[in-house]
Amino acid sequence: MPEVLNPATTETGGLTESAPDSTAPAGMVFYHASEGKPLATPWQVALIRSQLLAQAALPEGMILDCACGSGIQLAAHASVLQRPALGVELDPHRAQASAVNLRTIAEQRNELATSRMQSTRVIVGDGRDGAGVLDALKEHLGTSSRSKIALLHLDPARPRNSRTHGLNEMAPRLDEVFAGWQPFLEEGRNGPSLLLDLSPRLTHDQRLEVEALIDLTWPGLLRTWVWTSRGRGRVDRLALWLGSAAVEGIARRFVRIPPALGAEPTLVSGGRRLMHGPAHPVAVNRPPRRGERISILDAALVESGLAEDWLKRVSKENDIAWGVVEGRRPQIHHAHPLRLEAPEDRLLVQATGRVVALARMPLAIENVDRLVEVLLEHDIARLTVRATLPPEVQPKIQGAIDRQLSRRHGRRDAFLIQQPGDEMLLICIAE
C-alpha cells in the first residue's frame, strides 16, 4: 500500500533544499527535494493559471496532480478553487516537500483549519495507478467509497538537457496516466477535466499526437491550447486544457504573465484548431517605404498562432504585411499606429514606429559616423539597434552610436531594424 502523507502532520526533517520563490509573497519559502526546484512551477505562474481555471465549471471532487513534484501548482489550484488536493509523487522526498508546501500555502492564506485541508493528502506512489492511489486514500481516510476527482493536472518530467524529446520520454507517460485515471474522473458539462502542462519544445506533430492520445480515451473532448510567456519573447509553458477545464469556443489562448506580481495577465484568445495547422503568419516580400509603420511583436505571441487575433484588437487595418515571422523579432508593416493605450497590449510589442529614413550601408563600426549624420537630420536623441548582429559586435556598435548621440542635441527616440537578407537600414521614430 502506498504511503499517505497528511500535510498537517508532515515534518520538514530531512528536507534540505528550501528556497524562497521570488514570485511568491515575502517570507514564503518552499521546499524541494532531489533537485526539484527547477521543475517547480513559479508561484505567480501557478496562481494565474489557477485563477483562469476558476472560470471553468469543474465537476465535483478533489484536484489531483498525479506527478506533483514540489506541489506548487497543486497548492495553487486547491487554494484558489477551494477544493481538497490529492498529490501523487514517486520520489518520497519530493512527496514530503509537497505536503509541507501545501501546508505552508494554506497557512499563509489562513486556510489550515478548512475542511478542504482536512482531506488534502499526498501519496508516495505511482501516479499512473488510479485504482491503487484511490484505494490507499480510502483506507487512510476511512471513507466508505473512493474519493471523486474533479480535475487531473499533469506536469510530467521530461529528459533534461535535450532540445527535443518524444512523448514516450515523459514521466509519467500521458497514455498510461489516461488509462489509469479514466474510470475515476468525474464528468462535468463537457466531460472530465484535465490540464496537461507540456513542453513548448513539442513540435506541431507531437502536439497533434497528444490530441490523438486524448481522442483514443475521450473521443472529441473539448480542448484549448494555452501558451504562457513570462516575457522576453519566450514561451515558457504550453498546456492543453481539456473537457470541462477547456474554454468553450476557444482553440488557443496566449497568456502573458505580467512583470508586476499581483497584476492581471494579458490574454489573447481565439485562433484555429491545431489540426488546421500551426497558424503562423506568412511573410511577404514587400520593400519597406518611408512613412509606413513597422512594429516588432512579441515572439511568443506569434509562436502561439494568435498574433492575427490580437492585431484585430489593436488595429482596424486590413492590409498588415508580415515582413518577418520567425525568430526573436517578428515584424509587421502597417500604415496607421497600433492602438496600444492599454498597458497589457503595450507588453506585446517590442518596438513600434514610423520609418523616417532608409540608409543603404552595412551596419559596421566604420559607418557609425555616417549613420549618426542621418540620425541628426531626423532630430534623433537615442537609437536602439534592433537588427540581428553577432553578439560581440552589437554592444560595440550600440555603444559608439550612444556616445556620439550623447554629445548632440536630438530629441526623438528611434530604433533601427533590417529586413532579412537586405543590408538597408530602416530608421524608425518610436511611437
Ligand X SMILES: C[S@@+](CC[C@H](N)C(=O)[O-])C[C@H]1O[C@@H](n2cnc3c(N)ncnc32)[C@H](O)[C@@H]1O
Binding residues for ligand X, rule: CB under 6 A, are: 36, 39-41, 67-73, 88-91, 94, 126-128, 155-157, 171-172
Residue closer to ligand X by CB (options 97, 385) is 97
Residue closer to ligand X by CB (options 237, 386) is 237
Residue closer to ligand X by CB (options 19, 284) is 19
Residue closer to ligand X by CB (options 49, 253) is 49
| Nearest approach, Cβ of residue 68 and ligand X (Å) | 6
| Nearest approach, Cβ of residue 276 and ligand X (Å) | 30
Residue closer to ligand X by CB (options 71, 191) is 71
Residue closer to ligand X by CB (options 88, 194) is 88
Residue nearest to ligand X (CB): 69
How far is it, in rounded angstroms, from Cα 77 to Cα 171?
A: 21
| Nearest approach, Cβ of residue 136 and ligand X (Å) | 13
| Nearest approach, Cβ of residue 208 and ligand X (Å) | 23
Residue closer to ligand X by CB (options 88, 397) is 88
| Nearest approach, Cβ of residue 230 and ligand X (Å) | 15
| Nearest approach, Cβ of residue 6 and ligand X (Å) | 19
| Nearest approach, Cβ of residue 179 and ligand X (Å) | 13
